[in-house]
Amino acid sequence: MRNQSLTRRNFLQAAGFSIVTSILTPAGANSSKSPRPKPNFLIILTDDQTYRAIGYNHSQVETPILDSLAAEGIIFENAYVATPICVASRASILTSLFPQQHEAVALNADAFKKNVVTERKYPTLAHVLSAAGYRTGLLGKSHLGDPRQYGFQEGQHTNDEQAFRLAENFLEDASHAEKPFLLWLAPHKPHIPLRPDQKWLDLYKNVKLQVDPNFRESPPKQSFFNQGLPGENFYRDSKGKNNYKQLPAGPPRTAEIMTEFTKAYYAVISCLDHQIGQLISRLKALDLYHNTVIIFLSDNGYFLGNHGLGNKITMHEESVRVPMFIHAPRLPKKGIRCRELISSLDIYPTLLDLAGVSKPSHLVGKSLTPLFADPTLSFRNYVASECVGVGGAKGQGHRMIRTRQWKYILSDMNDEALFNELEDPYESRNWAARQ
């Protein structure tokens, strides 16, 4: 059995090397004679996009550009973020560490800046690729301060219109340079406030949306649903300028109210899809498309009335699971939907594998490259997430372990939940509460 295991391991390592080689080798080139240019990387990281809010997962969501890219790549159906809250999630993707390791917890990045910027304990993806000869830039939402302080050579915190305009300028410059690039494009969409133009709202004018089976007007009074300090019954997305058409001050919210909100949420995503399409057209016009790996995902999910909630933070699927795909023109298998459990921590080691760059020792994530060759490969037994430090309560918060079939949640009050994800994907039956 040991010899079989070693043989299988060697085979998988060889398969991973083979797929990396095929991505790095120009189409039609003899790999033994031609140089292998390092691939360019375009990471598109949206804000607050739940996994169902994309056309290939929900036929009523109009995202033709993203659907087309995903159909030519590999879709990761079970992609989870290391933490479902913006600041900490971005820090986790950049470091391949959980929040309590890099110490950016909830919306507080102070300790991250100390560990990553000042003391350089954990080099970011941008640090490593910059040192390996990549031109690196971040445009859009940083949430961690000046991107140039945590590894990017260029970077600006901008609104979406500016971000996409500057991204085109970045690509234009890249087309005249010999360096490969990492462009981290971080739109604010579909984060509230939702302000879609009427033409995008009109896409959904005659669409009859149905709320999900786990929709509730108000959440249950259990700790699993709390979005504030431990022991509170606090729910986010209350009334005010941040919400589309002045949502009521938290629950209760009717199905009619949330349906209208959801249409605006989808409209914003459709606008974003259009902007991405324009950028992809520019990528092609500049002859960069054939050697650019595109990684699409969101920093966390979002509740649209599921369980009576808005926002994110808890460990339910709508909050912690995100849409994700990887597109590369020379992937050997395309149009694949991979069902393996994936973590946002896996982005960092995957890109370093594709770039042929050695990995730092601190990485927690795993390279996804073996799945490019065999999407059915058993990749990991479980994926984990945590959301700690909300409201300044250091170390306190929600945690989960998700296997292929089960999800175990430990709440901020140490209450337990257990859901059978295969039979109950909307998480309505807590097996841990059974008598």
Let me know if residue 6 belongs to a domain. no
Query: Given this model, what pLDDT does residue 21 score?
Result: 56
Let me know if residue 186 belongs to a domain. yes
Segment 327-354, tens digit of pLDDT: 998 888 889 999 999 999 999 999 999 9
Q: Long-range contact list for 246-255, CB < 8 A, 24+ apart?
A: 247/310, 250/310, 251/216, 251/217, 251/218, 251/219, 251/308, 251/309, 252/217, 252/218, 252/308, 253/217, 253/305, 253/308, 253/310, 254/217, 255/211, 255/215, 255/217, 255/305
Query: Given this model, what pLDDT does residue 2 score?
Result: 41
- Counting the structural domains of the chain, the total is 1
What's the pLDDT band for 3 if we cut at 50, 70, 90?
very low
Let me know if residue 424 belongs to a domain. no
Let me know if residue 409 belongs to a domain. no
Strands 383-388 vs 397-402: parallel, antiparallel or unpaired: antiparallel
End-to-end CA distance of the chain: 42
pLDDT reading at 294 higher than 70: yes
Let me know if residue 418 belongs to a domain. no
Write the CATH number for 351.
3.40.720.10
Let me know if residue 392 belongs to a domain. no
> Residue 431 in contact with residue 420, Cβ under 8 Å?
yes
Chain-centroid distance, C-alpha 415: 27
Tell me the pLDDT of the chain averaged across its residues. Answer: 90
Let me know if residue 80 belongs to a domain. yes
Residue given tokens 């509740």 in the structure block: 303
Segment 17-50, tens digit of pLDDT: 555 655 555 444 444 455 668 999 999 999 999 9
Q: How far apart are CA 416 and CA 407, in angstroms?
A: 10
Chain-centroid distance, C-alpha 345: 10
Segment 101-120, tens digit of pLDDT: 999 988 888 999 999 989 99
DSSP classification of residue 205: T
Q: What is the pTM of this model?
A: 0.92
CA distances from 129 to 16, 20, 157 (A): 20, 16, 20
Which domain does 280 fall in, by range?
Answer: 37-380
112: helix, coil or strand? Answer: helix
Q: How far apart are CA 48 and CA 394, in angstroms?
A: 23
Q: How far apart are CA 299 and CA 84, in angstroms?
A: 7
Let me know if residue 391 belongs to a domain. no
Query: Given this model, what pLDDT does residue 331 score?
Result: 87
